[in-house]
Amino acid sequence: MIDRAESRGPVLVTGASGFIASHIVAELLSAGYRVRGTVRDLTKTARHSHITTLPGADERLELVAADLRTAAAFDDAVAGCEFVLHTASPYQIDVDDPQRDLVEPAVNGTLSVLESCAGAGSVRRVVLTSSVAAITDRADGHVNTEADWNTRSSLTRNPYYFSKTLAEQAAWSYVGRSDTGFDLVAINPFYVIGPSLGGEVNTSHRSLTGFTNGKVPVILAIEWPFVDVRDVATAHVQAMERPDAGGRYIVAAGTRTMRQVVDLLRANGWGDRYRLPSIGLDGRIGVPISKLAARVQRSGTRDYLMSHLGGVMRFDNSKVRSELGLEFRDIDKTILETMDDLERWGHLGKKR
């Protein structure tokens, strides 16, 4: 393990104000590290005030500007750092131009960070925030492991998944062919939920907010492998600190169907305050009806629904538990805490 007191330079966290990244910053500060975080625009202080006000931030957090779309933008940010946690990447399901809006910033941004790390001469390890999207893009009952790669996505099928796959593959290729001086570890979380430090709503959260604002009036045959954002943050820090960490790590705690989530919310009083989905389309007849309706959605949403409706998601998280010692939070508790947090930030629908 790293001797935190002897860690010579700051730990760099790219995209530091993001949902996952802000929890990583909080955990690093709590552990006593000096942290350097990148943000797109230093002048927009409201966008990153949730990390600059964290305990320890005044003494041990510095922010620098860096944009994934700008060449060599991370050179100054990486200088003097031994460890880089690269979380910055676009996360959108529906976009106008998948190549421009997803693939190019994800791949080029990742390579730009790695090139800066190689040029710095001080970096020992890079921990890359990848995704389940680089593992698979369908729910087919296969037990996914770190050996699996998403081979089905493309610019026209689940392009967000495609961008994450290409970005991680580009990272492994770069490290494999270059004398970088550092090693690479990839974290592959599944559907990340949990309390938000900055009040943002990520794509996974929208599945829950849709239950209360009328955008999801039906119960679909969808199964989600959830993980708490705080566990994802811990996985990053452990992957950084443990010298024997290596390769990829699936980070997911357990699966819940949409019906199980709705039933959980109803059992805990959410149905008394909000109009939860009640029309069941998760049966034998409902699945083909849902797939027919999915065809009129925007391309990203359509692709996701067509590759997941009626399917079963399975995974093996034994590697992250045995090698990084990660103990996952209870998923049902995380779902309820997430709903409380979304309500606190005003993201849920109108109450009854």
- The phi-psi region of residue 289 (left if phi > 0; otherwise alpha if psi is between -120 and 50; otherwise beta) is alpha
Domain-embedded: residue 269 = no
Separation of CA 302 from chain center: 21
Domain-embedded: residue 95 = yes
Are 292 and 122 spatial neighbours (Cβ–Cβ below 8 Å)? Answer: no
Q: How confident is the model at residue 350, as a pLDDT?
A: 80
Written as six digits, the tokens of 93 are: 């399901």
Domain-embedded: residue 187 = yes
Catalytic residue among 44, 164, 215, 350, which? 164
Q: What are the backbone angles phi and psi of residue 293, rounded to the nearest 5°? A: -65, -30
Written as six digits, the tokens of 61 are: 């957090």
Domain-embedded: residue 164 = yes
Output the tens digit of pLDDT for each of the chain's 352 residues.
555 545 557 999 999 999 999 999 999 999 999 999 999 889 988 899 999 999 999 999 999 998 877 878 899 999 999 999 999 775 666 677 888 888 888 899 999 999 999 999 999 999 999 999 999 999 999 999 999 999 999 998 888 889 999 999 999 999 998 788 999 999 999 999 999 999 888 878 888 998 887 788 899 999 999 999 999 999 999 999 999 999 999 999 999 999 999 999 999 999 999 999 999 999 989 888 888 887 878 777 787 788 888 889 999 999 999 999 999 999 999 999 999 999 999 999 888 7
Give CA–CA dist 47/39, Å, rounded: 9
Q: How confident is the model at residue 3, as a pLDDT?
A: 54
Give CA–CA dist 212/123, Å, rounded: 46
CATH of the domain at 242: 3.40.50.720
| 351 is an active site residue | no
Are 10 and 35 spatial neighbours (Cβ–Cβ below 8 Å)? Answer: yes
pLDDT tens digits, one per residue of 297-310: 877 778 778 888 88
First to last CA, the chain: 52
Written as six digits, the tokens of 50 are: 């949730």
Written as six digits, the tokens of 261 are: 């989530």
Please tell me the total count of domains within the chain: 1
Q: What is the pTM of this model?
A: 0.93
249: enclosing H helix or E strand: strand 247-251
Q: How confident is the model at residue 76, as a pLDDT?
A: 94
Q: Provide CB contacts within 8 A for 262, sequence distance 6+.
A: 211, 219, 276, 277
Q: What is the DSSP code string of 308-338? A: HTT---EE--HHHHHHS---PPPHHHHHHHH
Range of the domain at 112: 7-196+226-253+314-329
Domain-embedded: residue 124 = yes
Domain-embedded: residue 351 = no
Domain-embedded: residue 146 = yes
Domain-embedded: residue 216 = no
Q: How confident is the model at residue 306, as a pLDDT?
A: 82
3-class SS of residue 340 = helix
Give 30's Cβ-side CA count (13 Å radius): 12
